[in-house]
Amino acid sequence: MDFDCDILISGGGVAGLTAAATFGAAGFRVICVDPTPPVTERDAENSDLRTTAILQPARALLEQSGLWERYAPYAAPLQIMRIVDAGGEIAEPRVVREFNAADISDQPFGWNLPNWLLRRELVARLGDLDTVDFRPGTGTRSLFTREGEARVGLSDGTRLSARLVIACDGRGSPMRDAAGIDVHTRRYGQKALAFAVTHPIPHENVSTEIHRTGGPFTLVPLPDHEGRPSSAVVWMEEGPKAQDLLALDTGAFEAAMSERSCHLFGPLTLASRRTIWPIISQEAERLSGERLALMAEAAHVVPPIGAQGLNMSLADLRCLLDLARARPEGLGDRAMLEAYHRARHNDVRLRVQGIDLLNRASMVSAQPLRDLRAKGLDALYALAPVRKTLMQMGLGVR
């Protein structure tokens, strides 16, 4: 049977483009579509100002696909993860625990990069691959599958046949919906602000997560910006408060974020525009259907805690690639996709549930509960074996 491609990828975000580059570099014929062309400049309208921490286990996969050599010059290493409880009457640290990657590895935990830059380098890499046809501005509209093939209708009226469809098309995935796969969603009433800052005190490659109320305030190292130390910030708050913060003028916002950061890096200066998005957890009932694999946010969505989001997606991708290489003749068949679901489903469920618990703990506002959280943090993370286990679990190596 003749196919238009081996793999059709629905979705051209960071995960979808990475899947296209990875399978293309492995020799599979790939078509990747997305209705919205990627924004690849920092200050362009609608650019994604969030950052992504690429954890250790993902680096080998990115090296194989020719992506890491593009990322490396811009990557800020994450050597230490610092957890701060500032849940007292005033915004100041009262419990501080640090996790140093040197305790478990000779490499950093990971490397942080801006999402807009990841898209820029991904698009450039796809341009080098004859095996990949990237079609920005075109989306998926329909899905018809049978035992031997998938047929996908596109927004430009064309229909394509493929051996495997990979849905990387977000939390509202049209391919997942077309396959009739249900999702379970948890809503927290939270929103997250994302932006970049500069500060007078160097971050020294320390990622800092500060817990008070409403959700964590996280500063993740970036390369220097205009000669000053710089960090990416994700500030999670109750929805109405997040909207109020978004509406503040620059001076008032800088005062608010400096206080929320406990002044650990000195006064913070806004170095980008602010973006906002709702926080949910979401989990697909199954990670596969006939000739269809769900990946990334089509399969799972978690709050931005512990750098798990994209790294869960890259674990999905690594699993799919290993299965495809092991049996190229079985690409997209029932045996491959059942094996994919079995291999990933339990890990996804445990991580979604674990991050849900961490987020709920970070949201508490009543002072007795905040005090209890601080005591638990102090007791738990003070134990060296527990600290080491948590670091290994966070990297996905245990």
What domains lie within the chain, and their CATH numbers? Answer: 5-60+115-185+281-358 (3.50.50.60), 73-112+188-279+363-395 (3.30.9.10)
Strands 159-167 and 149-154: antiparallel
- Return the pLDDT at 137: 95
- pLDDT confidence of residue 392: 52
Q: What whole-number distance in Å separates Cα of residue 314 and Cα of residue 395?
A: 12
Pairing of strands 76-78, 149-154: unpaired
d(CA 362, CA 156): 45
Q: Determine the pLDDT at residue 384.
A: 58
pTM of structure: 0.90
Nearest to 233 by CA among 200, 262, 263, 272: 272
Instruction: Give the pLDDT confidence score for residue 390 in this predicted structure.
Output: 52
Question: Closest by alpha carbon to 159, among 146, 142, 173, 175?
Answer: 142
pLDDT for res 165: 98
pLDDT along the chain (398 residues), means of 10: 92 96 98 94 84 88 95 91 85 84 83 93 97 97 95 96 97 96 95 95 93 91 92 95 97 97 96 93 96 97 84 94 97 97 94 88 80 71 56 50
User: What's 163-197 look like in SS3?
Assistant: EEEEECCCCCCHHHHHCCCCEEEEEEEEEEEEEEE
pLDDT of residue 383: 57
